[in-house]
């Protein structure tokens, strides 16, 4: 498969499911805004921080390294060995679920049962839901490796929507169940997610024509189960060693990703109510990152992993592939920078209004608006880091991955210390400031790797981090106008003034996007080309 074809598939994976994902996320957004009207801050804090951290830590530590290792490399592999390796995520998940469940029940502060009832049962059910999700890991990797474009988006979005609907109904009808509501909904979510993959692949494999078209490495659904053959090893040991390298890295990356929740959970810096407000703002602020940046990162990690060979320098690989990878990386960097700057500029003036609409005075009063404004800056760094790391992790050799682990260890330690100190100094905003600092260090590491990787070639993809002076001037002007509009029109002047504030922002946003269209012609050409490839591929399928 040529690099251009792989690029087309990656673009299709990132773009064609985006509208569906936006639609599903908007539905979930509305449902969550409704649910927040019926919950206390303490319940939100326990569920969204304490219990979600248990679930995400178990799943991440059990599967992240396997995903990165098994999605790397070309088509020449023994898929039975790869699937056998992926099934090891289940016993690993059972171990982490039991160990972390014990920590959550025995070592951490247990909330008062009158304020937050059924905490112990919720810990058990959230740990069980993590193990259930890991049962679908071989199906997920097979689907992702073969570019099943809409399956992932539909499965995840449908599961999230059904979970939100179930929570809304139970909160209205049986509010006394407390944490039972969220525990049962989480278990239901993971079961639906796994069944979506199982049913889809079962139906696909039962059709001979579909099997031929998709060129799957298995012929029936039972081939996805673990199997032992006498002539070959149970797993591919090269993949297993790479998995171990990624596992050491993923453990540290999890601390960086969920560091603020670990500090809140283990050091009790914030009470459960403040934790709930922080987590709601954090989820709202990261909505665009999940909608746009995460699909791009996942899809183009696949592209870079398939096009680039890990053990070879850029000068020793196919120059056509290196050139395509450089052009794609340059355009992705410019897209991430432009999107992140736009969110930062407009997010500052509309954070207060967004929180008031989403959660009422529970969010818009107090530290909520300051938190969201700070998070807008963090989104800019998230966007750039997602692109740089998806290239870096796809191009690094095993030895380079191991060396990077030491850097991640230093970052993890500094992040925890910095989070604790900054939070004691300036409250929950300190978590975001610590995240910004560490994200800046990670971006610097990735940029140094990319610079060294392309140093011996004529390609300079890092020029994607430069925007035209005209566009930067328009962004600065838009920030000044919308900031002034917020002072005079929002948010205590009534809805007519609020709507006028929104109209000012829409006008400024239109001018900004129009300027980008006229000045960043290379980026626009890239987007038009890849969207065209995506539509063509959709028509063929």
Task: Output the pLDDT for position 469.
Answer: 93
Q: Which domain holds residue 371?
A: 3-216+234-467+520-540
Q: Where are any strands of DSSP class E within 344-440?
A: none
> pTM of the predicted model, to two decimals?
0.73
User: Largest Cα–Cα distance of the chain, in whole Å?
Assistant: 76
Whether 461 and 330 have beta carbons less than 8 Å apart is answered as yes
Interacting residues of 423 by C-beta distance below 8 A, sequence separation 6+: 263, 269, 270, 430, 431, 434
Report DSSP state, residue 112: P
Contact 85, 238 (CB under 8 A): no
Rounded Cα distance between 465 and 360, Å, is 38
Within-domain flag for 497: no
Number of domains in the chain: 1
The answer to the question of residue 362 being in a domain is: yes
Sign of the four-CA dihedral 368, 371, 373, 378: negative
* pLDDT value of position 356: 84
Is 228 among the domain residues?
A: no
52, part of any domain: yes
**Is the residue at 223 inside a domain?**
no
- Report the pLDDT value the prediction gives residue 533, as an integer from 0 to 100: 45
350 in a structural domain:
yes
Which residues in the chain show pLDDT less than 50? 533-541
Residue 51: DSSP 8-state: I
Establish if 103 belongs to a structural domain: yes
**CA–CA separation, 388 and 378 (whole Å):** 15
Q: Is 71 part of any domain?
A: yes
339-358 residue pLDDT tens: 999 999 999 999 989 888 88
Q: What is the pLDDT of residues 103-135, one digit of tens each?
A: 999 999 888 888 888 999 999 999 999 999 999
């Amino acid at each position: 498969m040529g690099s251009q074809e792989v690029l087309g598939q990656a673009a299709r994976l990132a773009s064609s499911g985006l509208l569906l994902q936006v639609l599903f996320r908007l539905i979930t957004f509305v449902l969550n805004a409704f649910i927040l009207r019926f919950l206390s801050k303490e319940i939100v804090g326990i569920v969204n921080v304490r219990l979600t951290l248990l679930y995400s830590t178990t799943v991440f530590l059990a599967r992240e390294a396997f995903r990165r290792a098994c999605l790397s490399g070309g088509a020449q592999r023994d898929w039975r060995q790869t699937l056998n390796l992926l099934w090891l995520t289940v016993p690993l998940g059972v171990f982490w679920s039991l160990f972390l469940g014990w920590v959550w029940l025995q070592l951490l502060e247990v909330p008062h049962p009158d304020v937050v009832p059924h905490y112990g049962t919720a810990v058990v059910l959230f740990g069980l839901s993590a193990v259930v999700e890991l049962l679908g890991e071989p199906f997920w990797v097979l689907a992702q490796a073969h570019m099943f474009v809409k399956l992932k988006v539909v499965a995840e979005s449908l599961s999230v929507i059904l979970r939100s609907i179930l929570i809304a109904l139970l909160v209205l009808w049986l509010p006394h169940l407390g944490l039972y509501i969220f525990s049962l909904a989480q278990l239901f979510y993971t079961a639906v997610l796994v069944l979506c993959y199982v049913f889809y692949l079962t139906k696909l494999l039962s059709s001979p024509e579909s099997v031929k078209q998709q060129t799957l490495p298995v012929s029936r659904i039972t081939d996805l189960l673990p199997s032992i053959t006498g002539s070959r090893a149970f797993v591919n040991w090269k993949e297993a060693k790479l998995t171990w390298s990624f596992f050491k890295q993923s453990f540290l990356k999890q601390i960086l990703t969920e560091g603020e929740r670990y500090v809140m959970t283990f050091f009790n810096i914030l009470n459960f109510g403040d934790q709930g407000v922080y987590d709601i703002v954090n989820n709202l602020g990261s909505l665009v990152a999940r909608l746009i940046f995460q699909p791009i990162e996942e899809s183009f990690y696949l592209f870079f992993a398939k096009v680039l060979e890990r053990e070879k320098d850029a000068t020793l690989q196919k120059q056509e592939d290196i050139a395509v990878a450089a052009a794609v990386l340059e355009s992705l960097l410019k897209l991430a920078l432009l999107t992140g700057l736009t969110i930062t500029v407009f997010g500052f003036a509309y954070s207060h209004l967004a929180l008031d609409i989403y959660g009422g005075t529970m969010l818009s009063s107090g530290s909520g608006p300051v938190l969201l404004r700070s998070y807008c800056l963090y989104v800019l760094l998230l966007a750039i880091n997602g692109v740089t790391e998806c290239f870096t992790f796809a191009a690094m050799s095993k030895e380079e991955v191991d060396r990077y682990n030491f850097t991640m260890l230093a970052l993890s330690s500094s992040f925890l210390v910095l989070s604790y100190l900054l939070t004691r100094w300036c409250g929950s905003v300190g978590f975001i400031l610590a995240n910004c600092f560490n994200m800046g260090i990670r971006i610097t590491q990735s940029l140094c790797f990319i610079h060294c990787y392309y140093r011996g070639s004529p390609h300079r993809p890092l020029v994607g981090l430069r925007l035209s002076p005209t566009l930067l001037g328009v962004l600065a002007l838009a920030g000044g106008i919308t900031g002034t509009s917020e002072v005079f029109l929002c948010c205590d002047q009534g809805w007519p003034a609020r709507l006028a504030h929104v109209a000012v922002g829409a006008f400024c946003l239109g001018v900004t996007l129009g300027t980008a269209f006229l000045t960043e012609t290379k980026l626009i050409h890239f987007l038009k080309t890849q969207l065209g490839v995506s539509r063509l591929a959709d028509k063929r399928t």
